[in-house]
Amino acid sequence: MNQVLSPPPHLTSSGSPALPRLQRSPCAGWHLSIAGVSHFQFKPVFLGTVHPRSELAQHRRVVNSQKCVRAGGKHNDLEDVGRDTYHHTFFEMLGNWSFGDYFKEEACSMAWELLTEVYEIPRDHLYVTYFGGDPSLGLSADEECRDVWLRLGVPASHVLPFPLKDNFWEMGDTGPCGPCTEIHYDHVGGGRNAAALVNQGSPDVVEIWNLVFMQYSREVEGNLLPLPQHHVDTGMGLERLVTVLQNKRSNYDTDLFTPILDAIHKGCRAPRYQGLIGDADFGRVNMAYRVVADHVRTLCVCITDGIYPGFSGAELVLRRILRRAVRFCSEILQAPPGLLASLVPTVVEVLGDAYPELTRNANQIKDIINENEAAFLSSLERGRRIIERTVQQMEPSTNFPAEVAWSLYGSLGFPLDLIDLMLEEKGISLDSTAFNELALEDAGGAQAEQPGNTNTHLDVHSLAWLQSSNVPATDDSPKYAYTVGQHGQYEFSPCQATVLMLYRDQSLHKEVGAGQRCGVILDRTNFYAEQGGQDSDQGYMIPLGQQDVLFPVESVHLCGGYVIHEVTAVETLRAGDQLQLFVDEAQRLACMTNHTATHLLNFALRRVLGDSTEQRGSHVTAERLRFDFDTKGHVTVEQLQQVEQVVQDLIQKNEVVHMAEVPLTLARRVQGLRAVDEGYPDPVRIVSLGVPVENVLTCDSKAAVQTSVELCCGTHLLQTGSVEDLAIISERQLVKGISRLIAVTGGRAKEAREVGQCLAMEVDSVSLRMKQRITSIPKMQDLSKEVGQLTKVVASAAMPQWQRKELQTILKVLQRTANTAVKKLELQQAEKVAQILLAKYCNQPVIIDTVPVDSLSILMKVVNKLCDKSPGTSVLLLSPQASGEVLCACQVSKNCLPVFSAADWAVAVCTKMEGKAGGSPIVAKGSGNAKGMQGALTTALEFAQSKL
């Protein structure tokens, strides 16, 4: 990379093209196409939903470097990785952006200047493409873009039109999109014309830079509408640029990859990497090198940024990437387990200067990779056994069942291509049609779970109209207007507001008729809009002077600075109407309580588990709070108790909750405060427990480390004592390294503790009865069932999690004790019955009789005992039950095989009793009806005599 470390300063300051260096810019972020979801941080700017007071809203030109993972959804490179030399799951995207500022002329000009004048790439090696139009969408060719390139001196033979699939960029099914122009590099050059190889998948002619012109918005109906403002979004892959500047033909031949490839060779039994592709790559060894080198980089950057191999969304895709890498390691490279994790230090060496967080988390990355690899190798063995067993049970010339393949794929993470390969080796094929139907059902279910509301999320055109018409953003400061009365009760002031506009069916209206559902945009509001992990307020609106007309508010959302209240109009609503607003005070207070408790919990976790404990997400409702955080393992019973105690102490102290808005620049100086990005509004709100905000802001203040100090737009209690109590009722690991807590407060916490005490008393009662000498099998079985039922209740009850874990430990021991006692009593009973029968039949070759026992399990034990004591004897016993059922168990002496089969014997006997049976040639069991028991005994004897 030594050729690209020093970009010219004049380009840096002008905000023009991206700087190709491994360095995080202030605006660096993620652009994930993992599982088809885009997370690049400038999307709110394109959509107009960014808060107008945020730093992000002030940007007009931005240069940045983004970590990108493309391994799922619309932009999916996963299957290409390894097959060629220029696709990657993880790569570094260098971009320059314009938000309503410069457009095509400037973007193309700056890109051409950087490539040809600064990096001195030969012009005749470069080809540019532009959008050739699409008559079906009514889109003409982007001749404006073409003409820009021609004016820049690009020969007409190097300016090429391409259709929608190549030169029209859109991330998903809806949202900002537009034509793009791509710059391709011919690695061969030498005066030839390579136009025919552009966009043809040739490894010699590769796209290096894509300039997207955001001109349109793809609507839900599929139509394209012009965006109110034109934007530029460009992306150049660092890996491909480095390949050009280091004069290589493959990304894997650059110093971004060669150290990793060398490390792979040292750790495996395969020959050294030679860069072969296609048919020349015998045994896919070189492909395996590329796959492993690419995938281990992806694993390192994702795990470091808190994405762990898991079972849904991005985590599931990362799990598949890891398993694909493990397969290539073990099956192609013949490497021992652990190779993948052993490559982490090399990845850190290559990328650590640019991303120091990799260096800090190297050990964690290795641990997670090793644990997941071990789990996968175990799954591979289980999967192979399942396939073998299924194939043995299949009818000849049939397809492998899709439901089994889907279970292997979804539950065990068995790669689909490996299933196909294993079936191909057996001459069997998968029922692909049925498999795809299962996949579609699964995808459809996931999509159905995603809610959408067209009345509360303003579309980009409506937002642009509001802003261009100078409709002021909603003043929502009254949501913080509440006090504590003389008797300690919270008092919420009503608010009077004017209807600015109504929103329905993705368009703005001045009037909405009775019975219609709509979003109401007001000039001011005391309703809290859903944000910061806190649920929105509920309540109602009353037209001024009309106390008998009430508009219930169902939800509240914030969009581009406008607060939208979702209501169903009970009568006509018009812009200009005056309304009085009333929040649901009980619901609001419950949310405030749980939000303040969330801050207490966050502080307590850091105090108990260490300062490195970072919040990963939270959600606050009136009923409970959810808190996700990173952790190195399960939280212990003792730690849960300690966390609750720290919270209880803060509640008992009744600390004042200080809240104030401060400039973003001041907030960034607070020591110990988590990272403040440009998405926060300016000024930003600080919530501090026990320490006034002005004290937190002093230069030498350690308050953010010693108490809870957080940036938060939520509504909070004024003193911590109002929380009253907090109980953590659930703790579980979402994925390796991230835990989720569920907690309740106030009365709900008290109820949880009462439930816990009641269940603890029940467990104590069972423990005492278990210690008594019980000789009755039915009584001991009842006690075992009671333990099992109590275990289920404890697992699902809303009770303190630390107490749940303690009771579960006790119940596990009790269940094992009960099961052992039942088994012991059964053996004792079986021993007695067997002794009686042995004395009665004295080593006869066949024993057929009826015996009184309590279960089929005991009956089988009697048969086993008899055959153990008399190996040459074949035994069949029947046991009539009070219910009218007759139990049957039999065992055949090995001396009588294969003529005499226990399974056939049991079937013949139970069929006589109108029942069923099954088993092996040696042991079988079944049941039938008591009416046919005498005939069954006769059949049993006749069957045995015919075989002996």
- What size, in residues, is the chain? 948
Rounded-to-integer distance, Cα 603 and Cα 643, Å: 9
Q: Read out DSSP for 596-645? A: HHHHHHHHHHHHHH-TT--EEEEEE-SS-EEEEEE-SSPPPHHHHHHHHH
What 8-state DSSP symbol labels residue 829?
H
Residue 438 to residue 449: CA distance in whole angstroms: 17
On whether 87 is known to bind a ligand per the annotation, the reply is no
| Strands laid side by side in the 846-850 sheet | 846-850, 874-880, 885-891, 923-929, 916-919
Nearest to 224 by CA among 180, 175, 171, 162: 175
Q: Which of 536, 555, 539 is nearest to 453 (CA)?
A: 555
From 868, 833, 878, 860, select the one nearest 919 (Cα to Cα).
860
Question: If we measure between CA atoms, which residue out of 820, 834, 819, 827 comes closest to residue 891?
Answer: 834
The residue among 284, 265, 386 whose CA lies nearest residue 327 is 284
Q: Fill in the DSSP letter of residue 571.
A: S
Q: Which of 637, 595, 680 is nearest to 806 (CA)?
A: 637
d(CA 173, CA 450): 15
The two structure tokens encoding residue 308: 């762990």
User: Taking each helix axis from N to C terminus, what angle separates 258-267 and 344-351, rounded to the nearest 10 degrees?
Assistant: 170
Task: Name the residue among 528, 656, 684 with its Cα closest to residue 592.
Answer: 528
Q: What angle do CA 443, 446, 447 make, to 5 degrees?
A: 85
Q: Can you tell me which residue has the tokens 């940045």?
A: 64
CB 200 within 8 A of CB 160: no
| Strand pairing report for 846-850 and 126-131 | unpaired
CA distance 908 to 935: 11
CA angle 53, 59, 65 (to 5 degrees): 125
Q: Are 328 and 288 in contact (CB under 8 A)?
A: yes
Helix axes 143-151 and 104-113, enclosed angle (nearest 10): 40
How is 421-471 classified by DSSP, letter by letter? Answer: HHHHHTT--B-HHHHHHHHHHHHHHHHHTS---TTTS--HHHHHHHHHTTP
Beta bridge partners of 43: none
**Strand, helix or coil for residue 144:** helix
From CA 461, how far away is CA 219, in angstroms rounded? 11
Residue 658 is assigned to a ligand binding site: no
Instruction: Please indicate if the annotation marks 509 as binding a ligand.
Output: no
In the block, tokens 């008998």 appear at 548
Give the residue from 54, 107, 47 showing the smallest Cα distance to 677: 54
Asked whether residue 716 is marked as a ligand-binding residue, the answer is yes
Task: Choose among 433, 848, 800: nearest CA to 648.
Answer: 800
**Distance between CA atoms of residues 294 and 284, nearest Å:** 15
CB 785, CB 815: distance < 8 Å = no
Indicate the helix (H) or strand (E) that contains 900: none
SS3 content of the chain, % helix, strand, coil (to 5): 45, 25, 30
Number of H helices and E strands in the chain, helices first, is 28, 32
Residues flagged as binding site: 595, 599, 712, 716
Residues flagged as binding site for Zn(2+): 595, 599, 712, 716
